[in-house]
Structure 1
């Protein structure tokens, strides 16, 4: 007996929604997988392509830098050209760039291909959320779908080092890039039935070309100075010129964004101390985690003599706790409050970093397990815990832009962590001393982030008391949003 028309339409819509979720989850998986998987391949890449630590920093940061600087523009492209169109274009670009990474004959080609991967990722992430938003109009279903989407990304980031170690052990370092190609093709195939016509609600958003150009120059020169400073000399002419260009670009960027009617980065968001603090702690968390991930990768493979597979297994306690921390974040915040739990998370970062000082090349591996558990738990907790309060400070219609700002902050923090910690390894000798400097710096940044969050959360609570709500509904809303 044929289904009624309404039932058949509902069944078709549900099938398309599931296909959208599967496609976007696949894309987010490879985006975050590539952010962590490359770390266990650094030793083999360096040996094959004859690269030093500076070159390896560029391999890691070319991806995160282009991802961070183009993320906001990727969302605008989706609004103007259609989320599905930009999403598919991003997947195609990511697949082609991954194939180029796998075939790269030299370090320069690999670095350029990594930057192209980052461009593809910057198109994928905001358009993935737009497609999910369209496919799941019901708020409860949409929240569940976003949870699945973020969960897949968290698992990918956590499993990256282990998956990379296994692939490298059996197929070599190039396989960690070429494996993306069939996955991206599967994502493209899954999008074939998604409608091409977007709602067009935000289609009138303008490109902030001047702001985008200034942001690319500002971030690019900042990372370049930090990576190349130890090699060329901090007083050398290229580094001095780079510093001047970087400072000028940042001033120009802020000036442009302040005057634009449709800025790429709405500076009005930062009038809220809580949004500013959320951005700062998101950046600090990525700075510490990815900086330490890069440093530990070099240490385990070059100092401890671990293979890529052994390095992936060594990272398993830390990366597993990233997934657990993300899943438990909401419950911990509900039980302990955002202020205390966030400060405790950064305390774990600091304790884990200082605890790793005992994990010398001659020490047994088990000494590093407890510190790595602490670092992984903190990393998994901070991202969702910082996002929710920040999103509560902006209007609903500007939520996508606010989310893009937070993601850009995380990617920028990751790039800075790799650049600065890699600079310690390149400039400070012996390696054990460089590790001590990096770990001490990570602990200091974590404690500073905890202080920033405590002050901002306290200020937000005081502001809530000063502006006491008059109605019962306002009172209930204030109680739910109050930062304890």
Structure 2
């Protein structure tokens, strides 16, 4: 009887992993595929650098702002149902993006895409937590899940360049068949156990105002000047909303971001590493995409091809990450991966004045490979820090910090490169990214030893 029941369970787990990985692929694809299309979008719909920043950050902002809500939603209605809702929303938003007649409509539709992606992501991680309760298997499963993002990194820039050569609207229309396939496949996933809890509406509103005010101030400050009254007001509003958010989280009975989640040292380090990774990864892809097209004059397709070696190495890094963790523990691959990212950024800083496109490819190989080795096991630390019932909420907190890192990096780096000297702004951007990642690498040296056994090794009974 044991034999007959074990095989179906394994088959269901593999199907769940495949669908969760496909969801992560789609979420990542729609950040990377759009970067290459920005220049063409600007020519057709109009808009300066700040307008193009909003095409990226509208997605990232809603993504980051709603992840905490989405984590609670995943726990409340079950990961499977939450994941399906996110797919359906992403499908509708992608149609709206592909038909957008103006830049304003495109930015609004991108925000809706980000909201749907927020619903999908914590649910996908929770599905993996449910399907792979044994830590050693989960370490490998998370590596495979991360490959979804790495494959998007491989396909995204090249596919975006090819589709943009035909029509930039195709970079959004390509999502439609993927969403339809996922909606069909999700029916085969085992139902998730819901855990009904009240929604923290006060926390959600203040979180949205905090992040919105911060990102608006950074982007518009670069365009209008940081002394502009609207920019100053946005920063003041963000600070006040942050204080209100923390007070609400400390006092309500069912907070969307329970403050006790921050007590484990491993969780705090993982949040810093996740933030730093996004600064160094998505922030540099944004800058390099504009550098290749606007500064060096490459076509969208040629610019996309430059990122292909990095994406290929990222896939390899994700595949070996779980093996390294099971042999050496969490600390080694995380520190090694972050240090490799710093090496890549140093190379990009030195090579920026050369005007040689393939120098971007070489530097990006190091940043892509390093990040792909580190991040799957940082995710494993997060899931090991909480009980299964809190997997959705914990993953939402972690990914909120990640997406805030990406949004802030794009906003700040956009300001730095918007001046008259693009290359100097590019170098300063990479110096900032390198310093943040180096800080995270030092912190990762103090990942507690118990994270090794809880996240990567077999249970000891």
TM-score (norm 1): 0.85
1:330 is matched with 322
Q: Residue 414 of structure 1: CA displacement?
A: 1.0
Question: Within 2, Cα distance between the matches of 1:362 and 1:263?
Answer: 51
Q: Within 1, Cα distance between the matches of 2:214 and 2:331?
A: 32
Out of 257, 268, 273, the position equivalent to 1:276 is 268
**Could you say which residue in structure 2 is the equivalent of 1:403?**
395
The residue number in structure 1 matching 2:429 is: 438
Which structure is richer in relative contact order (CA contacts within 8 A, separation 6 or more)? Answer: 2
Q: How many residues align?
A: 455
Q: What does residue 55 of structure 1 align with? A: 51
Residues 411-457 of structure 1 deviation map (CA, whole Å, 9 limit, x = unaligned): 1111111111111112x321111112112212222222223333x43
Match of 1:416 among 408, 421, 430: 408
| Higher mean displacement: 301-310 or 318-327 | 318-327
Report what 2:289 is aligned to. 297
Partner Cα distance (2:205, 2:25) in 1 = 29
Change (3 A) 1:273 1:312: same
SS at match of 1:359: helix
Which residue of structure 1 lines up, in the alignment, with residue 63 of structure 2? Answer: 67
Is the deviation greater in 400-409 or in 340-349? 340-349
> Alpha-carbon deviation of 1:403?
2.0
SS at match of 2:208: helix
Deviation digits for residues 139-177 of structure 1 (CA, Å, limit 9, x no counterpart): 8877766554433233223431122122223x3211010
Q: What runs of 5+ residues in structure 2 fail to find an aligned partner?
A: none
Give the distance between the partners of 2:392 and 2:315, measured in 1 at CA. Answer: 24
Which residue of 351, 361, 367 corresponds with 2:343? 351
Matched, 1:387 2:387: no
Quick one: structure 1 residues 125 and 343, their matched pair in 2 at CA, closer, same or farther if it must change by over 3 Å? closer
TM-score under structure 2 length normalisation: 0.89
Structure 1 residue 240 displacement after superposition: 1.1
CA distance in 2: counterparts of 1:345 and 1:297, whole angstroms = 23
Q: 1:189 aligns with which of 181, 184, 194?
A: 184
Deviation at 1:69, TM superposition (A): 1.4
From the superposition, tell whether residues 26 and 304 of structure 1 become closer, same or farther in structure 2 (CA, over 3 Å).
same
Inter-partner Cα distance in structure 2 for 1:326 and 1:108? 37
CA-to-partner distance for each residue in 1:74-105, whole Å, 9 max, x for gaps?
Answer: 23223434444433322221111101111111
Counterpart mapping for 1:246-285 below 5 A: 246-285=238-277
Q: Equivalent of 1:232, from 203, 211, 224?
A: 224
Structure 1 position 341, deviation (Å) = 4.3
Q: Quick one: structure 1 residues 371 and 478, their matched pair in 2 at CA, closer, same or farther if it must change by over 3 Å?
A: closer
1-structure distance, mates of 2:352, 2:133? 53
Q: Once structures 1 and 2 are overlaid, which stretch shifts more, 368-377 or 273-282?
A: 368-377
Q: Say whether 1:210 aligns with 2:202.
A: yes
CA spacing shift, 1:396–1:30, aligned 2, 3 Å: closer
- How far apart are residue 114 of structure 1 and its match? 0.6
The reply on whether 1:37 has 2:29 as its aligned counterpart is no
Aligned to 1:172: 167
CA distance in 2, matches of 1:422, 1:178: 27
CA distance in 2, matches of 1:333, 1:384: 10
Rounded Cα–Cα distance in structure 1 between residues aligned with 2:280 and 2:381:
21
Alpha-carbon separation, structure 1, partners of 2:324 and 2:18: 29
Q: Is 2:112 aligned against 1:121?
A: no
Aligned CA distance change for structure 1 residues 281 and 109 (closer, same or farther; 3 Å): same
RMSD: 3.0
Q: CA deviation at 1:24?
A: 3.7
Q: Tell which structure's C-alpha radius of gyration is larger.
A: 1
Could you report, residue by residue, the CA deviation over 1:118-143 in whole angstroms, capped at 9, with x for unpaired residues?
A: 11111222333445566678888777
The structural deviation recorded for 1:374 is 1.2
